[in-house]
Amino acid sequence: METNTTENNHSQLWLENLIAEKIKKNPQFSLRAFARMVDVSPAVLSRILSGKRKLTFNLATRIADALVLGPVERDTLYSFFLSSSSEEKTEEEKVQKELSIDCFNAMKEWYHYGITQLLYIESFKEDSKWISKMLSITELEAKMAIERLLRLEILDRDENGKLYRTATHLSTTTDIASAGIRHFQKQILEKSIESLEKDDVLERDITSITIAINEDRLAEAKLEIKKFRMKMSEFLSTGEKTRVYNLGVHLIPLSKSVNGDMNELN
C-alpha cells in the first residue's frame, strides 16, 4: 500500500506541474479546458488533483495523446502506473487494448458518442424522448444507449444522480483495427453525405483537397491532424454549448504508390 500511495502522490504532483506549465503558457487555460482535452469530467479531474482519486493508466494514455508527449515524457508518465514486473506490465497493457476493442464494438452506433457530447449542453435532459429528438433516433435507442454507456462505465452518476463522462475513453488515434470502429466511421461518412444534402451550407463545412504527397511524411501528417483536431475542439467548445457536431478530417489514397510494384503500373 505504501508503494501505491507514493506512486499516486508522484502522479498527482506530475499532473499539477503539467497544468501549471500549461496555464503559464496560456492564461486562458483552465482545469475545465484540460478536462475537455483529455475527455474526462472536471469533477473526476479535480478529485485526481486533490488525491481523492487515483490517476489511472487509461487516463494517463489519453493525457499523453492529447498533449502529444514525446517518448521520454510518456515513459515517465506511464512508469507511475505500471508494475515494475515486465510480465505484469505486459498483461496490463493487453487488458487495456482488449477493453478498448470491446468498448468500441459495443458502442459502434454513432449516437453513443452523440449522447456523451449532449451532456455538455446546459439544457441536457436525461430523458429518452428529448435525446431521441435531439439526435433523430428512436426513444428505445436512446434509452438502451444510456444503459450501455453506464454499463461500460463511459458514463457514471455523481452523488446527486446526475450523469457525467468518466475517465473511460477509447480512441482510434492509435490505429487499432476493429469492426466496431469501421462500422462507426462508415456511419459518420454517411452522416456527412446526409448533411451535404439537407443542411444549410452555413451550418456545415465539407471540403477536400487532392494532392500528390510524400508518403514518408504520413506519420507526421497524422500527428499534425491530431493537433488540429484538439485545437479546433477546444476552440469550438468555448462558451455555452448548443449543438453536437462531428469533425472529420480525411486523408486517403486515390492512386497506387510509385513505391510499390511498378509492374502493376505498366
pLDDT truncated to tens, each residue of the chain (266 aa)? 334 455 556 666 777 777 777 767 777 777 787 787 777 788 887 887 777 777 776 677 777 777 776 666 666 666 665 433 333 434 333 333 333 455 666 778 889 988 988 988 888 999 999 999 999 999 999 999 999 888 877 888 888 888 988 744 445 544 555 677 778 888 888 998 999 898 898 898 888 889 899 988 988 888 898 889 888 888 888 888 999 999 888 776 765 666 765 455 55
C-alpha 112: how far from chain center: 13
Contact, 192 vs 234, CB < 8 A? no
Give the cell for residue 169.
Answer: 475513453
What is the rounded CA–CA span in Å between residue 165 and residue 152?
11
Contact criterion met (CB below 8 Å) for 155 and 116: yes
What's residue 149's pLDDT? 87
Q: Where are the alpha helices (DSSP H) in the chain?
A: 2-25, 31-37, 42-49, 57-66, 71-78, 86-106, 111-118, 128-135, 139-151, 179-198, 218-237
| The residue type at 108 | K
Find where cell 449516437 sits. 111
Please report the pLDDT score of residue 87 as a whole number. 39
| Of the candidates 214, 207, 212, 204, the residue with the CA atom closest to the CA atom of residue 249 | 207
For residue 167, the model assigns a pLDDT of 46
Amino acid identity of residue 11, one-letter, is S
Q: Are 46 and 25 in contact (CB under 8 A)?
A: no
Q: Which domains does the chain have, with CATH numbers?
A: 2-81 (1.10.260.40), 101-237 (1.10.10)
Burial of 59 (0-12, 13-18, 19+ CB in 10 A): buried
What's the confidence (pLDDT) of residue 166?
Answer: 76
Neighbour tally for 185: CB within 10 Å: 14
Distance CA 29, CA 174 (A): 26
CA angle 190, 195, 201 (to 5 degrees): 150
Provide the 3-class DSSP secondary structure of residue 165. Answer: strand
Residue-level pLDDT at 172: 52
Q: Extract the C-alpha cell encoding 80.
A: 507511475
Beta bridge partners of 163: 157
Residue 130: the pLDDT is 93
Alpha helices for 107-178 (secondary structure H)? 111-118, 128-135, 139-151
What is the widest separation between alpha-carbon atoms in the chain? 68
pLDDT of residue 254: 61
Q: What is the pTM assigned to this prediction?
A: 0.57
Q: How far apart are CA 154 and CA 146, in angstroms?
A: 10
